[in-house]
């Protein structure tokens, strides 16, 4: 399978594709380690995980966005402190992105930093967030506004966890990975368009797509781990996408929201003369497969613009948008939220969503 090491200023960490989660956990865990596990995963994979959970201390969490907050991590930290967790002990996260974010945030601040391992169970986490070092929690209703950089020490990927994902969850993961393929270039994006349908049902095809997604991301984060320069392009689709998530109360899964966001970024890019309508529609052919069956027509434009104005990539009143000058030519563009921009957003919401939702 695919195995590699990510170089980090904080500490290098390995990614290993595995086939036996139980055996790996029993081999890696030591006395004093504590598992933080999504309760849904704990129940779905009880036969695999119970022998491990019987042997090691664990904390079950309901992996909702509310866990990714000061209020959400407080009881976890209280349990750790009250039950003898020490700096030489390790946290082991088993779950998706919410479990990852909560565990990473706690690991980064407990005793000024403890080691942690990650067993990602969602496609979003396996194909994207497991590497990159970011820790993020929400502040009130604003997504990912608090956090830092603190990578796991080891990551173990088992595609068997994807067997219980819904179609929407698989599409969300593929939607998130799509932005890496657009950033990478024509060849990679053409591959994803070609293999997208097969990836929904064929684990071997999906494994290749996950690995390539991580390869693309790895190259950027090793040059710009702290998201100051080149890596900023990976926010492509995310400014718009995060606004969609928050305004639909996370009804729209993250990667699907990002697929809408990429289309919005491309729409603005056409208005600015950066790309042709033909290029936008070429990318939209894939994006429309990802968002098919969802609707964001209930979002009010005024509220959307307010949410967009609070994006952490903005500078003052200027929007820090990631736009498109062609596949493989994604870049950061500081745009004023002026009447012209508002007009473009109004046009998008009035003319593009009906079409989008009937694809």
And the tokens for 248? Answer: 């639909």
How many structural domains are present in the chain? 2
pLDDT tens digits, one per residue of 278-331: 999 999 999 999 999 999 999 999 999 999 998 877 888 899 999 999 999 999
Looking at 164, 180, 207, which one is the last position of a domain? 164
Q: Which of 38, 37, 70 is nearest to 136 (CA)?
A: 70
Alpha-carbon distance of 306 to 290, in angstroms, equals 26
User: Residue 226: which domain range?
Assistant: 167-357
End position of a domain, from candidates 141, 164, 187: 164
**CATH number of the domain where residue 261 is located:** 1.20.1090.10
Asked if residue 195 lies in contact with residue 158, where contact means CB atoms within 8 angstroms, the answer is: no
Is this model's pTM higher than 0.85 or not? Answer: yes
User: Residue 327's closest CA among 132, 215, 178, 159?
Assistant: 178
Shared-domain flag, residues 282 and 348: yes
More confident residue, 25 or 313: 25
Mean pLDDT of 145-170: 96
Give the chain's mean pLDDT. Answer: 95
- pLDDT band of residue 6 (cuts 50, 70, 90) is very high
Residues 49 and 156 in one domain: yes
Q: pLDDT at position 317, please?
A: 81
In this predicted structure, what is the pLDDT of residue 359?
Answer: 47
Q: Select from 164, 183, 202 the last residue of a domain.
A: 164
- pLDDT > 70: percent of the chain: 98
Residue with tokens 């396996």: 126
Least Cα distance to 326 among 223, 184, 228 occurs for 184
């Amino acid at each position: 399978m695919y195995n590699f090491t990510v170089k980090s200023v904080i500490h290098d960490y390995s990614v290993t594709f595995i086939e036996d989660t139980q055996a790996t956990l029993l081999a890696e865990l030591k006395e004093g380690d504590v598992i933080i596990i999504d309760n849904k995963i704990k129940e779905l994979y009880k036969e695999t995980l119970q022998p491990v959970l019987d042997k090691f201390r664990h904390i079950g969490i309901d992996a909702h966005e509310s866990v990714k907050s000061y209020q959400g991590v407080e009881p976890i930290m209280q349990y750790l402190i009250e039950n003898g967790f020490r700096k030489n002990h390790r946290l082991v996260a088993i779950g998706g992105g919410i479990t990852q974010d909560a565990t990473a945030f706690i690991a980064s601040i407990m005793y000024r930093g403890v080691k942690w391992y990650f067993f990602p169970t969602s496609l979003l986490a396996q194909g994207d967030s497991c590497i990159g070092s970011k820790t993020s929690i929400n502040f009130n209703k604003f997504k990912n506004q608090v956090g830092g950089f603190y990578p796991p020490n080891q990551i173990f990927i088992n595609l068997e966890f994807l067997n219980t994902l819904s179609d929407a969850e698989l599409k969300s993961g593929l939607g998130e990975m799509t932005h890496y393929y657009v950033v990478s270039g024509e060849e990679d994006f053409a591959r994803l368009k070609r293999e997208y349908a097969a990836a929904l049902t064929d684990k071997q095809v999906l494994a290749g797509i996950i690995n390539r997604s991580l390869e693309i991301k790895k190259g950027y984060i090793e040059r710009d781990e702290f998201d100051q320069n080149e890596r900023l392009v990976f926010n492509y689709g995310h400014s718009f996408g995060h606004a969609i998530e928050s305004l639909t109360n996370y009804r729209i899964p993250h990667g699907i929201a990002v697929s809408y966001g990429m289309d919005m970024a491309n729409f603005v890019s056409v208005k600015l003369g950066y790309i042709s309508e033909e290029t936008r529609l070429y990318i939209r052919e894939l994006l429309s497969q990802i968002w098919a069956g969802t609707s964001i027509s209930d979002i009010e434009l005024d509220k959307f613009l307010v949410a967009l104005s609070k994006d952490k990539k903005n500078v003052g009143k200027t929007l820090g948008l990631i736009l498109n000058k062609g596949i493989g030519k994604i870049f950061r563009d500081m745009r004023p939220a002026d009447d012209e921009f508002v007009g473009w957003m109004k046009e998008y919401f009035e003319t593009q969503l009906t079409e989008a939702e009937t694809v």
